[in-house]
Structures are given as C-alpha cells and as structure tokens.
C-alpha cells in the first residue's frame, strides 16, 4: 500500500489583470507593466483584491524569491505564524487538518458516552465503552500493570522451546510483535489468492540500522534505548540490577535479529521479498520451529502455502530460538508485552514510553492530552464504526461526487499522457493504459462497512478492550487466507488525512478526511484545487507506475508487462530521481536516501505533471481565468501544490524520517518536482541558473 505520507508498503511488511510576480536576478519583484494594469478599470475589480480564495496571502514569504526557494516563498509566512506545538514532532497542514478531524471524532464519542441505554452489542455501545475505558484514568492508575499479570504469569511458566513457540503465537494472535511478523497477504503472483506471509520483525527500535550502524548517534540511541528498557522493567517491579541485566539481554537478542534483517531499501524490491513455499518447504527451511503447533495456536489449522519475505532472516531466527537460553527469551517477551501495552497502563508506563519514543526519538516536548490519545486509539480499534458516523456528519454526497469527478478528470489526463509518451513503445503503452483503466476508485468511505459484531468491548479494563480489538483484527486478517479477495475492503479509516495506492488490487483510495480544505476547498478556484487535491490524486495514480507499482499488472500480479527496452528506459528515468534526492541534505552529514524515497518522489513528480495537464484540459473552451491577488492561474496551481506541504519538523523527527520513511521531507517534496517542471519555471518566469530550475540535461522527466 503506497500512501501519500507516513505509511509503509503493506504488501511488503500500507491529489482580468493585476500585479504578477516574476523573477529577476533571483529576486521576486512586481512587473511594472502588469502592476499598472491592476488599476480599477483594467480588468475585473475583484481580481485586484489582496485575497486568494482558499489561501492566506500572509502564508507567503515575499522576502524570498520564488525562483530560489519556492517552499519558503509559498509557505514561509505560514511556518512563521504556526510554530510546532509542544505535543508534536511536526506541525503542518496534515497535522492541522487531522487535529480538526480529531475534534469532530471527540464530539461524536463524547456524545455517545453520555447517552443512556445504548443497545448492547451495537457499534455505538462499543465505541462509547472503548472510549470511556481509555478515559477512565482513576481506574487505570489503580490497576497499574495488573492487567498484564495473567500474560506475565504465562511467560514465567515457559520451560522449553514448545512453550516459547506457543507464547510467540499467542503474542501474534493479540497483535503483539515478537521474533517475526505473520499475517495474510495477497499472493504477489496470483492476486486473486490470499496466502499466509512470514516476514522479519521482532525489534523495539524503529529499524535494523539503529542496531547495526556504528556512528556516534546510533550508539547513543542504543544506549538510551537500553536504559529505557531497564527503567520499564523496574516499573514491573524488578530491582535495578536485574532490570539492567534484562535490558542487556533484550538488546542482545534484538541486535542478533537486526543483523539478520534486510534494509528498508532491500524490502522495496517485491521480487526479492517473494519466496512462496508449501508447508513442507517452510519446515525444511526452519526445522526447529514447530509450524503445525504455531498455525493451530494462531487459529489456522491448515495452511497450503506461505510467502516467506526474507528466508535468511527466518533461518537465523530458527537457530536463535534454539541457541539462546529460554530465560533470556522470557525477558525478551516480557519487554515486548509491556512495550506494546504501555499506552493502556498507569501514567508511569505512559510517561516512560513517551520519554523515549516521543521525546527522544521525535523531539516532541509533551504528550498529547488524554482525550486525543483516546480518540486516536478508538479510531484505530473500531475505525469503520466510528468512521460511519463521521461521514454522516461531515461528508456530503455532493462532496463525494465532486471528488469522483476530479478523479475521472485526472485519469483522463494520465491516459492522454501515456498515449503520447515519446520513450514508450506501443506494446507497453497499451498495457499501461489498460492498467490505468482498470484502477478501482474508492472515494470518501467504504460502500460496505466492516462488521464489529464479534468484538467484545466493555467499560472494563482499557488493556482488555485493546487486546480484544487487536485479536479481532488478527482473526479477521487471517480469515482471508484461502478465501476470495475482498476488493471492497479499505486500508484506512474515513477520517484519515491521507490517501493510498494498493498495487495488488490496483486501487486508488481517498478517505473523506483529506477531501476538505486545504487539500480541497470549495471556496478556491480550480487552479488552486487542481494543485492541491488534484496533485494528491495524481500522486496516488502515479504510484501505479512508480518503481514498485510498475512491476504489477492491471490485475495486481507481479509480472513483467513492459518490454525489456521500455523498462530499461523507465529505470534510467527513475534513477535520475534517485540521484537528485541523494543530494538533498537533511542536516550536515545526513542526506535523504534516494533509493528509499524514489517511489514517493516519482509519484510527486508524476502527480504534479498529470494534475497540471488535467487543469489545462479543464480550461479548454472556456474564457481564461483572471489574475487573482497578483497570481495567474498557473501560479495559483503551483501555490496549491506547495501549501499541501507547509510545515515544520523537529530535528529529531527529521533524522528518524530520513532513516526510516519512504516519504522525503516536505520541503523537498515542494521544491524537487517543481525544479523538474518547465511549466513552473514559465509560470514564475524563472530561468536556468535559478535554484528552482534544473538545466535540461539534469531534469528528471518520466510522465
């Protein structure tokens, strides 16, 4: 699943006349000729107003040239007026809109919690009880870590490998990570089939490189993590010496798992992560692990086939399970249990988790208020039950119809582009257009809502409700194995401020949460909206043809549908993007990793190109739109793109994202694609030599 931001790939692990700005000698100045034309009587009077519908003119930083740093020019004023709140690692348009949606969800949940006599077993009852159990701080404080005691006792009773394997399966059935990952996924090479999938996992730090890199910052992070683990063991009642020893044990086991894990860049290659096996082959690969017992314990008595994402990791894990003492594994399991459950326990556990995962890793200065954390938890646990009420209150049929129309226009623009690409042969072109025409389009919310009838939720312990919701989700996921693929299913909840493309289903999905200002604003003109939500839509569409999506055909199968020569040309063009992003410096000595962010960056470049073409096509046969607040329609389009990515990020969070996130930092998402776009240079009258204009021989162009 390829998302607009902050998501993993689910299958591999889830848019008149006035003053005009021109660039002269690197400075943004007013064209005297056009400024004179802005006097009343020279054109539409409304166009002279210092107002750009959908955009606050004060968001601009006019001290900076649009041709030198368009992100700063377009967003510098907004950033200056919107410092990062203490509870956030980043603050931008996404967070701002997400916060607004959270307020809407909070009102819904508070209203349900205050209602009497909700129907037992109804979605409303479960939402109210889940939320209230999370908000019941006095009960949570009194309980401390006692909700974990039954599981802690099970861990303490483990005596041999069989007991260890049973507990790993129990963890997985409750969605608690341990040793490796397991779940259901579409078969990469038979997209109509859902099979079991095993993948690397079992780490507590964000990525394997945190364990393996030898630089000073990585060493410091490992030291801080080990201290965090030790402090958490003390909260469970261990004395300091025992806690320190257990923390060293956890670090040792996780380091061994990390050393046998592949990198995030390697996981981006679907062919390298596809190793379909029958059960007998899986047993041969890992002879010491009892897969029959494991499958029964996770609720799957029979398995026909499984994809092993990283066989070498699984072989290493098999050996570690037999060579590392059982008592050491028990410490590892205790840690991963409490680490997964910390948010449901008393304040000491919550604060300890935040101090490392929030403050140290991301730079956030304080926790979000409890109500926000509980709203988020309810959305994650019962998302479509909550989302169904959300869309009834916030997302009109008219809004859905407008979004559907824009998606239709963007698809038409990409079809036109594919039809005329000079570097693509007719054979590949026909298959590419067939894939585009096969896109499943999901707008706003599911047509078929998920049933939560089987989830047991009460106003009891918050931890128990979270475990029950997690167990339901695991059972629902594993229940897909061997059954037909449900193409109506969604991978995001309706209030989510994001969007995604799923190559195995060949679908583009836009939740209601993002289909509102500033991404789509009914008050703004078409230029602004095409640059905003239009480019977002184009971004997700282009994921179908990025470095990963291009390997899946119209039916979602991993197959080479390009001619060899065309695919060679395509890779050369994406390699141009890789090199550009390798050069972007996050901070001194730390660069973006081009091969990690290439998919998102290709989608940004393609989405912007397609959206601009769609906007130009929408003007055919119509009078040219006026200049508004000094900006031509073309300039407003690019401002619409830039404002999507307005925001600031703390240095700690920037470092974390640079190492782990396939999405580049937002400032690069503004400037990089625009510097490759001749239409941008023409709109702002930038010239070769300006920072925002790449020389033709260095320009990346794909679609």
Say if 37 falls within a structural domain: no
Task: Choose, from 604, 634, 666, 690, the residue flagged as catalytic.
Answer: 604
Same domain, 83 and 151: no
Percent of the chain that is helix, strand, coil (3-state, to 5): 55, 10, 35
Distance CA 68, CA 546 (A): 28
Same domain, 435 and 552: yes
CATH code for the domain in which residue 415 is found:
3.40.390.10
Indicate the SS3 state at residue 199: strand
Read off the DSSP letter of residue 443: E
- 488-502 burial: b if 16+ Cβ within 10 Å, else e: ebbbbbbbbbbbbbb
Say if 540 falls within a structural domain: yes
Say if 47 falls within a structural domain: no
Same domain, 361 and 399: no
Same domain, 515 and 390: yes
Distance CA 510, CA 535 (A): 12
Question: Rounded to the nearest 10 degrees, what angle do helices 633-644 and 666-675 cross at?
Answer: 150
Same domain, 567 and 435: yes
Residues contacting 202, CB < 8 A, separation 6+: 177, 178, 179, 180, 181, 254, 257, 317, 336
pLDDT digits (tens, 9 = 90+) for 60-107: 999 999 999 999 999 999 999 999 999 999 999 999 999 999 999 999
Distance CA 345, CA 338 (A): 9
Say if 350 falls within a structural domain: yes
- Asked if 16 contacts 626 with a C-beta cutoff of 8 angstroms, the reply is yes
Same domain, 210 and 257: yes
Same domain, 563 and 603: yes
pLDDT value, residue 52: 85
Residues contacting 464, CB < 8 A, separation 6+: 147, 458
Question: Rounded to the nearest 10 degrees, what angle do helices 326-341 and 149-156 cross at?
Answer: 170
Same domain, 598 and 642: yes
CATH code for the domain in which residue 359 is found:
1.10.1380.10
- Asked if 465 contacts 457 with a C-beta cutoff of 8 angstroms, the reply is yes
The residue range of the domain holding 597 is 2-16+63-101+385-450+489-698
Indicate the SS3 state at residue 119: coil
> Is 136 one of the annotated active-site residues of the chain?
no
Same domain, 545 and 672: yes
Same domain, 72 and 169: no
Say if 113 falls within a structural domain: no
Distance CA 573, CA 575 (A): 5
Same domain, 258 and 316: yes
Distance CA 611, CA 592 (A): 26
- What are the backbone dihedrals phi and psi of residue 79, each rounded to the nearest 5 degrees, phi first? -60, -40
CA atoms within 13 A on the CB side of 666: 26
The number of beta carbons lying within 10 Å of the beta carbon of residue 302 is 10
pLDDT digits (tens, 9 = 90+) for 117-142: 999 999 999 999 999 999 999 999 99
Distance CA 564, CA 561 (A): 9
pLDDT value, residue 547: 93
Distance CA 66, CA 74 (A): 8
pTM (2 d.p.): 0.92
pLDDT value, residue 50: 56
Q: H-type helices in 216-360, by residue range?
A: 216-235, 240-259, 264-267, 279-285, 291-297, 311-323, 326-341, 347-353
pLDDT value, residue 589: 93
> Is 604 one of the annotated active-site residues of the chain?
yes
**Final residue belonging to a domain, choices 337, 367, 397:** 367
Secondary structure (H, E, C), 631-675? ECHHHHHHHHHHHHCCEEECHHHHHHHHHHCCCCCHHHHHHHHHH
Say if 153 falls within a structural domain: yes
**Final residue belonging to a domain, choices 367, 397, 422:** 367
Distance CA 247, CA 447 (A): 48
pLDDT less than 50: residues of the chain:
6-49
The number of beta carbons lying within 10 Å of the beta carbon of residue 653 is 21
Same domain, 493 and 627: yes
Say if 7 falls within a structural domain: yes
Helix (H) or strand (E) holding 3: strand 2-3
**Final residue belonging to a domain, choices 367, 398, 432:** 367
326 is written with which tokens?
A: 């059982």
Distances (CA, A) of 18 to 46, 158, 180, 216, 624: 10, 77, 62, 55, 14
Say if 129 falls within a structural domain: no
Count of the separate structural domains present in the chain: 2
């Amino acid at each position: 699943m390829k998302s607009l931001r902050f998501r993993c790939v689910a299958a591999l692990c889830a848019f008149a006349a006035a003053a005009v700005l021109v660039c002269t000698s690197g400075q943004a100045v007013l064209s005297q000729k056009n400024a004179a034309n802005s006097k009343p009587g020279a054109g539409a009077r409304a166009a002279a107003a210092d107002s750009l519908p959908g955009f606050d003119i004060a968001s601009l930083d006019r001290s900076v040239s649009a041709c030198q740093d368009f992100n700063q020019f377009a967003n510098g004023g907004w950033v200056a007026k919107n410092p990062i709140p203490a509870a956030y690692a980043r603050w931008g348009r996404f967070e701002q809109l997400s916060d607004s949606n959270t307020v809407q969800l909070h009102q819904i949940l508070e209203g349900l919690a205050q209602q009497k006599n909700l129907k037992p077993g109804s979605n409303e009852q479960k939402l109210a009880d889940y939320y209230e159990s999370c908000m019941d701080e006095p009960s949570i404080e009194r309980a401390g870590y006692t909700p974990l005691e039954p599981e802690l006792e099970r861990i303490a009773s483990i005596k041999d490998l069989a007991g260890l394997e049973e507990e790993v399966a129990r963890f997985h059935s409750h969605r608690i990570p341990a040793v490796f990952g397991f779940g259901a996924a579409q078969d990469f090479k038979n997209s109509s089939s859902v099979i079991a999938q095993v993948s690397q996992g079992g780490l507590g730090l964000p990525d394997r490189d945190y364990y393996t890199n030898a630089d000073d910052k990585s060493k410091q992070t490992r030291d801080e993590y080990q201290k965090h683990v030790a402090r958490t063991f003390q909260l469970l009642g261990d004395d300091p010496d025992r806690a320190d020893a257990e923390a060293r044990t956890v670090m040792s086991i996780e380091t061994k798992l990390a050393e046998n894990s592949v990198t995030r860049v390697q996981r981006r290659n679907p062919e390298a992560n596809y190793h379909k096996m029958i059960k007998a082959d899986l047993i041969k690969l890992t002879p010491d692990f009892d897969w029959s017992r494991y499958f029964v314990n996770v609720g799957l008595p029979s398995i026909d086939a499984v994809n092993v994402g990283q066989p070498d990791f699984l072989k290493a894990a098999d050996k570690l399970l037999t060579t590392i003492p059982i008592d050491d594994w028990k410490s590892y399991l205790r840690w991963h249990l409490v680490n997964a459950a910390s948010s449901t326990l008393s304040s000491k556990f919550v604060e300890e988790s935040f101090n490392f995962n929030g403050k140290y890793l991301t730079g956030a200065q304080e926790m979000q208020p409890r109500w926000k954390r509980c709203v988020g938890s309810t959305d994650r646990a019962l998302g479509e039950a909550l989302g169904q009420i959300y869309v009834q209150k916030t997302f009109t049929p008219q809004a859905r119809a407008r979004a559907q129309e824009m998606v239709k226009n963007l698809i038409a623009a990409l079809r036109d582009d594919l039809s005329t690409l000079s570097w693509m042969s007719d054979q590949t072109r026909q298959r590419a257009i067939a894939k585009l025409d096969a896109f499943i389009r999901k707008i706003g919310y599911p047509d078929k809502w998920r049933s939560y009838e089987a989830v047991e939720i009460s106003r009891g312990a918050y931890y128990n409700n979270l475990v029950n919701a997690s167990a339901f989700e695991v059972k629902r996921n594993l229940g897909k194995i061997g059954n037909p693929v449900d193409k109506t299913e969604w991978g995001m909840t309706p209030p989510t401020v994001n969007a995604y493309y799923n190559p195995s289903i060949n679908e583009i999905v836009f939740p209601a949460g993002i289909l509102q200002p500033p991404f789509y604003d009914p008050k703004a003109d078409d230029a602004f909206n095409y640059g905003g939500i239009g480019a977002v839509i184009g971004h997700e569409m282009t994921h179908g043809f990025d470095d990963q999506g291009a390997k899946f055909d119209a039916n979602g199968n991993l197959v080479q549908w390009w001619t060899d020569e065309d695919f060679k040309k395509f890779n050369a063009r994406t390699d141009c993007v890789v090199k550009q992003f390798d050069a972007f410096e996050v901070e001194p000595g730390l660069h973006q990793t081009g091969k990690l962010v290439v998919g998102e960056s290709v989608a940004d470049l393609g989405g912007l190109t397609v959206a601009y073409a769609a906007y130009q096509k929408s003007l055919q046969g119509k009078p040219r739109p006026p200049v508004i607040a000094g900006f031509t329609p073309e300039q407003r389009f690019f401002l619409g793109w830039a404002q999507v990515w307005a925001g600031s990020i703390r240095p700690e969070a920037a470092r974390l994202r640079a190492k782990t996130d396939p999405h580049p930092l937002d400032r690069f998402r503004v400037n990089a694609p625009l510097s490759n776009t001749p239409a941008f240079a023409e709109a702002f009258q930038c010239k070769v030599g300006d920072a925002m204009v790449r020389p033709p021989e260095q320009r990346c162009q794909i679609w």
